[in-house]
Amino acid sequence: MDGPFDKATVAGLAEALRLDPTLAGEPERLRRALADLAPDDERGGWLLALAAAAGVPALLGQGLVAEAHARLCDLAACRADAAAAAVEAWARALDGAAEAGEFAADEVAAGGGENWPEGVLAGLDPDAGGAAAGPGEQPGMPTALRVALWPDGGPVLAAVTMQGVFVVDGVQAYGRWRRVADVRAPLSRDAALALETVPGRVAWTDHDGVRVRALRRRGARLVLGEPRVLAVPPDGAQARYPVAVLGQPGGDLSVLWTQDRLHLTLTEDRAWGTRTQPGLVPGACGAGERLNGLHWCLETEQTGWLLCRTDRGRLLAARWDVPLNEAGHWADLEPPAVPVAATLVCVGEVVFAVAATQQGDLLSLDVRGALSGYAGWHSVDRPAQVSAAPPPRVLASGARRDRPALPGWLALAGPGGVWAMPVTRSGDTLECGNPANVWTGE
Amino acid sequence: MSTTAGPVRPVYLLLDTSGSTARGGFADGRDQAMPLVVDQAARHGGLALAVLMYGTRADTLVWLGDPADIKLIPVVRPGGLSSLAAGLRLLADSVRADIARLTADGVGCLPPAVLIVADGLPTDEAGALLDARADLAAALTDTGGSPPPLFAVPAATDRLAVAGLRMGFYPLDTATPATLAWSVRGAFDRLLAGGAG
């Protein structure tokens, strides 16, 4: 036997499900059934039952092949080749194409065959060392984008698209996007990243609340924890956009979110539990005005800044007091052009607001300097590839405040695709490094 | 069966012949146990013995009769699922039919006894299994109130699940086919001694 299974085991799974489809939801009973139907392959039976316990049948039922593979690797510590073979076997069995005894051993070992469901297995390469070699998840164009950095300075991108919420470790994204969640009405949702916490977190909003998943790096792979509900809106309300998070090295996470795009609610996820407090942050919007974007970063261990963009094109900043857990008053940063997107990042120990105009120009502002009256808006030179692309509509940035020598990262998304580039501070402005075009399947 | 020999106790042996019994010499040990059990039943006297099997489906290997008359027990090749539910339903039907037949023949019957020999828990859906167990319980109650069936399985089997089936638990020694055969014989002795727990 070269692969993880005997051919009889793969056939046995199909036969077991034909005899009793409820076996897919009862892993231990399934394992016993496979012991009966493929008694010579105890290992294969355990692996297929493990896949059932990890929820692979349900994920395949939703068409989430890459997530099924990742779930086996992440939660069940499966080797990539074993996970791929298990997903293949389940896909075939659930598809109903399999008949007992029809499989050839070399077909199974090769991970293919004329009866395999077309397209279902695309992207799963058993030899890929955990990463899908094919396209895997294809998130599409982001409607919201976030960037955060690992301690070594490597970027992670989170994107909300019409397909759901996704993350990718690094900018070489082909075949490496991971689905975080499906969300209802994606245009109404947002996501945020925090990698200062250990493990890292990705948070997002959905109709029924704010959720979070842990993020870890295991070798070259991004490992996602199980989703957890952080906050639930009152009856009849939803968690909408924007959302912002602030992570602490101790693992604490603060989340600012909204149900009405007017008022912000603070949810703190601490070791001792989760606490939600509305009304700690003063309202930023005027009459009839709504929040479009929200960003949050630390400047020192004690202080941070909030930046919001409204649907009237205003950019407002407020100081955040970490020990007191409260925000100061909002101040209008008065950008020289209407921003279509904005972000906030602490690079080289200076907190910058970065804005994109309708023409695609990038502007930056030293926030503290501006509010102290000595700094103004500057143009950020865009790399040629970015200048040549249509103007971006989404902007995100991230940096390690605890590693000021490392460059930050800036990401833009729009009709020209997704671009990500390192940024460094040069005096009171920002300089962009070479951009990478981030694959999204579009 | 003679009408002058006094009442007999019907004893049912229900064997798991599912595919997994091919593992670890379980089927070999089970087959080696059969002559030991039949001899013991014959020596004991006053018993009528039937041998049934279950895989995906259930079947009767030896109809209820005097164990001294049993010359051959068909060898069953391991195969199929472990549908104990099918076995229990066949057992319930057999108990009802056998007792009716013995009574019609004028043979007095003591409450039946049941020994199940399996290599592990079944593969049935829980509801179907519990329904079949209830059917067997009704059949046994109708025939005089038998002790719970004795479920002889490898020692590592989930004892709580066996208790949920309202059966006695007998741990089998599966180290070798020979130890398993003698262990099945030990379970049979326990059954005849009236101990189901």
User: pLDDT per residue over A166-194, tens digit each?
Assistant: 999 999 898 889 999 989 999 999 999 99
Half-sphere exposure of B66 (CA within 13 A, CB side): 11
Tokens 């940096």 belong to: A399
Nearest chain B CA: its distance from A301 CA (Å): 54
CA distance B113 to B129: 19
Residues of chain A contacting B122 with CB distance shorter than 8 Å: 32
Residue A112's pLDDT is: 36
Q: Does ipTM top 0.90?
A: no
pTM for this entry? 0.69
How far, in whole angstroms, is CA A226 from its chain's centroid? 13
What are the helix and strand counts (H, E) for chain A?
9, 27
Least confident of A72-81, A90-99, A312-321: A90-99
CB count within 10 Å of CB B99 equals: 21
Beta bridge partners of A331: A317
**Residue A123 reports pLDDT greater than 60:** no
Nearest chain A CA: its distance from B193 CA (Å): 32
The residue extents of the domains of chain B are 9-192
C-alpha distances in Å from residue A258, one per residue of A144, A213, A230, A412: 16, 19, 13, 24
State the best of A36, A40, A43 to mutate against chain B, taking most chain B CBs within 10 Å: A36
Residues A218, A61, A240, CA angle at the centre, nearest 5°?
70
Of A334, A324, A137, nearest in space to A222 by CA: A137
Q: What is the DSSP letter of A284?
A: -
Per the prediction, chain A carries an average pLDDT of: 87
Residue B5's pLDDT is: 65
Interchain pair B121, A32: CB under 8 A: yes
Beta bridge partners of A310: A291
Residue A123, Cβ density class (10 Å: 0-12 exposed, 13-18 middle, ≥19 buried)? buried
Structure tokens at A127: 């030899």
Nearest chain B CA: its distance from A393 CA (Å): 54
Least confident of A92-106, A112-126, B72-86, B173-187: A112-126
Nearest chain B CA: its distance from A412 CA (Å): 53
8 Å CB contact between A154 and A133: no
B22 by DSSP, 3-state: which? helix
Residue A75's pLDDT is: 84
Residues of chain A with CATH 2.120.10.70: 144-438
**Residue A333 reports pLDDT greater than 90:** yes
Interchain pair B20, A40: CB under 8 A: no
CA distance A51 to A45: 10
pLDDT confidence tier of residue A3, bands split at 50, 70 and 90:
low
CA distance A156 to A149: 6
A369 by DSSP, 3-state: which? helix
Of A278, A251, A129, A158, nearest in space to A196 by CA: A251
For residue B81, give the nearest of A26, A36, A40 by CB distance.
Answer: A36
Superfamily (CATH) of domain A144-438: Fucose-specific lectin (2.120.10.70)
Q: What is the largest CA-CA distance in chain B?
A: 45
Nearest chain B CA: its distance from A434 CA (Å): 60
Contact pairs from chain A to chain B, CB under 8 Å: 43
Interchain pair A39, B78: CB under 8 A: yes
Residue A240's pLDDT is: 95
Tens-place pLDDT, residues A192-206: 999 988 889 999 999
Interchain pair B81, A22: CB under 8 A: no
Quick one: CA torsion of B140, B141, B147, B149, rounded to 10 degrees?
30
Residues of chain A contacting B20 with CB distance shorter than 8 Å: 32, 35-36, 39
- A33's enclosing H/E stretch is helix A27-37
**Residue A46 reports pLDDT greater than 60:** yes
Interchain pair A39, B81: CB under 8 A: no
Radius of gyration of chain B (CA): 15
**Residue B60 reports pLDDT greater than 90:** yes
Residue A96's pLDDT is: 65
Q: What average pLDDT does this structure show over B68-72?
A: 89
Domain B9-192 has CATH 3.40.190.10: no
Residue B73's pLDDT is: 83
B→A contacts (Cβ < 8 Å), by residue, are 18-23, 55-56, 78, 80-82, 120-123, 125
Which phi-psi region, left, alpha or beta, contains residue B10 (left: φ > 0; alpha: ψ -120 to 50)? beta
Residues 6+ apart with CB under 8 A from A8: A37, A38, A40, A41, A101
Tokens 């090769």 belong to: A110
Residues of chain B contacting A33 with CB distance shorter than 8 Å: 81-82, 123
What does residue A44 show for φ and ψ, rounded to 5 degrees? -65, -40
